[in-house]
Amino acid sequence: MKTRVLTGITTTGTPHLGNYVGAIRPAVAASRRDDVDAFYFMADYHALIKSDDPARIERSRLEIAATWLAAGLDPQKVTFYRQSDIPEIPELTWFLTCVTAKGLLNRAHAYKASVDKNTEAGEDPDAGVTAGLYMYPVLMAADILAFNANKVPVGRDQIQHIEMARDIAQRFNHIYGREFFALPEVVIEEQVATLPGLDGRKMSKSYDNTIPLFAGGQKHLRDAIMRIVTDSRLPGEAKDPDSSSLFTIFRAFASEAESTAFRQALVDGIGWGEAKQVLFERLEVEVAPMRESYDALIARPAVIEEILQEGAKKARAIAGPKVAELRDAIGLRSGT
């Protein structure tokens, strides 16, 4: 039997280098294998948790879809869809909600971070926290379990969510006495599990420190790279590659041999400006050809929409019977 690989991206922003190396690139590589059945999607239900700006969500969906396709995804081979086209997902979310311990959700990083921030500020711990944020991990579990995914390629920040999906699946299987769900495993590429952003913290839409993969074109990419924060060591002074986000980003795009050579150049005291130019040129080798397809795709939203509609049909052909089976098993009418 083929391994089911599944991953999604939330439609709240412009795809950045972190999304690309953490999720898109490994996922596209996995999808080319013959023993893999891949499911990739735009998580627009998740977007509603973070954004109430319809135009932003719509634009982000188009950009993310075009990015997947430009990165080499073959929609004939892969099931490529928009989360909100699959009504079985919110339905399954409810089934899972009813077996999920509230205590499990209390421990979710994103929820806890908001509570801790409020507490530190001396406010009501739940101030501004929506039930959507609280339920985020259950919705994500439904994304994964609706397709019985075995492997989920993600960056490090998503590990806890996959572990929670496993817990929820186990609990459901236990309560209803059958292996309804496979237990999903996280797939992490250690080297790129957390790509740093402009300021050295994790590259993230929420920190506003991202380097967009395609948006704004080549000049924008170069300008962003020139803004990566570096220490004050001057040309000629040795740099420490291991504490440099510039080097970490370079490594995510380069071969072993190229990384060794760049490491040596930093130790030998190459100036930061020159080092940034080297990084830019290395990135361009991989990004430039994809950017051309991206620009062509983004100008044709109707084509993308058609691809997503086809993907939704394929996805529902799997999620539909799965949810019907669950409805029967838990005492509801299947409706099919």
Q: Which is nearer to ligand TYM, 9 or 270 (CB)?
A: 9
Q: Which is nearer to ligand TYM, 249 or 278 (CB)?
A: 249
Q: Which is nearer to ligand TYM, 111 or 270 (CB)?
A: 111
Q: In angstroms, give the least distance from the CB of 82 to ligand TYM.
A: 12
Residues that bind ligand TYM (CB under 6 A): 6-10, 18-19, 21-23, 43, 46, 140, 143-144, 152, 154-155, 157-158, 192-195, 202-204
Q: Is 143 annotated as a binding residue?
A: yes
Q: In angstroms, give the least distance from the CB of 260 to ligand TYM.
A: 23
Whether 318 and 98 have beta carbons less than 8 Å apart is answered as no
Q: Is 155 annotated as a binding residue?
A: yes
Q: Is 10 annotated as a binding residue?
A: yes
Q: Which is nearer to ligand TYM, 270 or 279 (CB)?
A: 279
Q: Is 202 annotated as a binding residue?
A: yes
Whether 152 and 144 have beta carbons less than 8 Å apart is answered as yes
Which stretches of the chain are assigned E, i.e. beta strand? 3-10, 36-43, 79-82, 151-153, 185-187
CA distance 315 to 81: 7
CA distance 126 to 76: 45
Q: Which two tokens stand for residue 303?
A: 């084509």
Q: In angstroms, give the least distance from the CB of 107 to ligand TYM.
A: 16
Q: Which is nearer to ligand TYM, 100 or 204 (CB)?
A: 204
Q: In angstroms, give the least distance from the CB of 169 to ligand TYM.
A: 13
Q: Is 18 annotated as a binding residue?
A: yes
Residue type, 238: A
Q: Is 11 annotated as a binding residue?
A: yes
Q: In angstroms, give the least distance from the CB of 142 to ligand TYM.
A: 9
Q: In angstroms, give the least distance from the CB of 33 to ligand TYM.
A: 19
Q: How far is CA 180 from the centre of its chain?
A: 26
Whether 293 and 74 have beta carbons less than 8 Å apart is answered as no
Q: Is 203 annotated as a binding residue?
A: yes
Burial class (CB in 10 A: 0-12, 13-18, 19+), 4: buried
Phi, psi of 37 (to 5 degrees): -115, 110
Q: In angstroms, give the least distance from the CB of 282 to ligand TYM.
A: 18
CA distances from 226 to 158, 242, 271 (A): 29, 19, 12
Q: Which is nearer to ligand TYM, 63 or 241 (CB)?
A: 63
Residue whose C-beta lies closest to ligand TYM:
22
DSSP states along 75-126:
TTTSEEEEGGG-THHHHHHHHHHTTS-HHHHHT-HHHHHHHHHHHHTTS-TT
Q: Which two tokens stand for residue 121?
A: 């500020």
Whether 152 and 185 have beta carbons less than 8 Å apart is answered as yes
Q: Which is nearer to ligand TYM, 15 or 270 (CB)?
A: 15
Q: Is 44 annotated as a binding residue?
A: no
Q: Is 156 annotated as a binding residue?
A: yes
Cβ-proximal residues to 278 (8 Å cutoff; 6+ apart), any chain: 250, 262, 265, 270
Residue set of the binding site: 10-12, 18-19, 143, 155-157, 195, 202-206
User: Which residue ranges make up the annotated binding site for ATP?
Assistant: 10-12, 18-19, 155-157, 195, 202-206
Binding-site annotation: residue ranges for L-tryptophan: 143
